[in-house]
Amino acid sequence: MLVLIPSALRSYTRQTRVEASGATLGALLADLDRRHPGLRFRMVDEQDRLRPHMRVFVNGRAVHELAQALEPDDDVAIVQALSGG
């Protein structure tokens, strides 16, 4: 499946969209990390949870769990949340 990569993580992929596969979000992120080492650490913390500033959308719906099931034709977008004051 194609995964949309936010600009803050493109130093790992050098592309806006990259190919990856996985039956779950966790497996997809592991595959992305195999293809683009270091990417998963920027998204997942030491407790194996998505970092608070990272958002993942599957077919336009926000998902929060690495156990979220995925289908090969799903549209996945990784978004980095912005903060400010």
Dist. CA 85–CA 20, nearest whole Å: 35
Q: Which CATH architecture has domain 2-80?
A: Roll (3.10)
Dist. CA 42–CA 39, nearest whole Å: 5
Please say if the pLDDT value at position 85 is more than 60: no
pTM of the shown model: 0.90
**Domain assignments of the chain as residue spans, ordered by start:** 2-80
Please say if the pLDDT value at position 82 is more than 80: no
Q: For residue range 43-73, what is the model confidence (pLDDT) as tens digits?
A: 999 999 999 999 999 999 999 999 999 999 9
Cα angle: 43, vertex 44, 48; to 5 degrees:
165
Q: For residue range 1-47, what is the model confidence (pLDDT) as tens digits?
A: 999 999 999 999 999 999 999 999 999 999 999 999 999 999 999 99
Cα angle: 38, vertex 44, 47; to 5 degrees:
125
Nearest to 76 by CA among 12, 13, 16: 16
